[in-house]
Amino acid sequence: MQTVIKVTPSQLKKIANYYTKNPTLRLPNGALFSVKNGGTTITGYRSGKVMFQGTRFAEEAARWQTDTDSSPNTANSTSIIKKNTTPGMSIPAGFANWSVIGSDEVGAGAYFGPLTTAAVFVSKENISWVRQLGISDSKTLTDDKMRQIAPEIIAHLPHHVINLMPEKYNQMQPENNVNQLKAISHNFVLNKVLTKIEPLTPDAILIDQFAQESTYFKYLLNAKQPNIVRQNVYFTTKGEQYHLSVAAASILARVVELDTMSKLSQEAGMQLPIGAGHAVDLVAAKLMQQGVDLRHFAKLHFANTKKAQKILS
């Protein structure tokens, strides 16, 4: 994984001087310096671009993004970080230190349970506190750890979660594909958080990307959604690596999903597995055999429904 920032000649010299004590690597074409700092390789080019590659690329780049006049309203806001996994998408330099509402969803690929979407506002004043929670790499946290962190997020940060339960999901799905349902959910929670923080406005909104920007807004227009959030909206995959607000939203969504799955499992009288594998087919077949209405527990358009029926027959 990597990040590239654009800096001025004086900033480039400052970065080079900072890393002079680090092990020097072989210089690529056009490079002024290339060094190793822990698990991150930093390479500065004559063009003014500095590349950060490795396990802590985002954190190391953030060290210099605050030094490049990179707040949203400065003249240098054209400096960008380019994410190598999303052609055409860019996140402004210094973004990790902005006041941002981040949103993420879970459950879209699971047969049983809800589609859960959360949004969280992390102001620049709260970034240090949120970082201390240890959520910067939220995807690697265990469920138990997320359960410990979620109450802290709920108590201290403006947030909103929507839990699209299977029955409502099944009502909406025939006219809305899963990505359209995601878009509707993201727009809903973002509006809720924007209302909660009024009269404050965030520097930006970051959506953990599941569709191209144009497609996302097309989904909302087709669904005739009111109050479409458009201003200062950014999209990128692995959004938690770019701002802690997405990491916080991911944790909230996951914990709500887990709690909901526990409740649904109690109602079903058996453990409902998360996912869409063969174990799901077997449990769905058992529920069908018992005459249970799966609309209450599952997303019926999944292929698992037919697979379960085949098991019974």
Last residue of a domain, one of 95, 125, 148: 95
* Total domain count, the chain: 3
Domain residue limits at 250:
100-262
For residue 169, pLDDT over 80 is answered with yes
Report pLDDT digits (tens) over 262-274: 999 999 999 999 8
Report pLDDT digits (tens) over 21-42: 777 888 888 888 888 887 788 9
As given in the structure block, the two tokens for residue 80 are: 């960008």
280 and 152: one domain? no
Last residue of a domain, one of 241, 262, 283: 262
Report pLDDT digits (tens) over 75-90: 232 233 333 333 334 7
Average pLDDT over residues 151-163: 96
Last residue of a domain, one of 224, 242, 262: 262
158 and 225: one domain? yes
55 and 137: one domain? no
For residue 243, pLDDT over 60 is answered with yes
Phi, psi torsion values for 255, nearest 5 degrees: -65, -40
Residue 1 pLDDT grade (very low, low, confident, very high; cuts 50, 70, 90): low
- Cα 150 to Cα 118: distance, rounded to the nearest angstrom: 12
Average pLDDT over residues 102-131: 95
181 and 273: one domain? no
137 and 251: one domain? yes
As given in the structure block, the two tokens for residue 214 are: 């144009």
79 and 111: one domain? no
Beta strands in the chain (DSSP E): 2-6, 31-37, 40-45, 49-54, 80-82, 90-92, 100-106, 115-122, 159-164, 204-208, 233-236
139 and 235: one domain? yes
| Displacement of CA 275 from its chain's centroid (Å) | 19
- Cα 294 to Cα 144: distance, rounded to the nearest angstrom: 29
Judged on CB neighbours under 10 Å (0-12, 13-18, 19+), 180 is buried
| Longest Cα separation, the chain | 73
27 and 132: one domain? no
The residues facing 52 across adjacent strands are 3, 42
Average pLDDT over residues 212-240: 92
The predicted structure's pLDDT at residue 251: 96
Q: Are 123 and 99 in contact (CB under 8 A)?
A: yes
Higher-confidence residue of 238 and 87: namely: 238
The predicted structure's pLDDT at residue 104: 96
CATH of the domain at 20: 3.30.310.10
241 and 162: one domain? yes
Q: How many helices (H) and strands (E) does the chain have?
A: 10, 11
212 and 275: one domain? no
- Cα 310 to Cα 278: distance, rounded to the nearest angstrom: 12
**Percentage of residues in the chain with pLDDT exceeding 90?**
62
The predicted structure's pLDDT at residue 254: 95
141 and 172: one domain? yes
204 and 57: one domain? no
CATH of the domain at 108: 3.30.420.10
Residue 19 pLDDT grade (very low, low, confident, very high; cuts 50, 70, 90): confident
For residue 16, pLDDT over 90 is answered with no
Report pLDDT digits (tens) over 244-292: 999 999 999 999 999 999 999 999 999 999 888 899 999 999 999 999 9
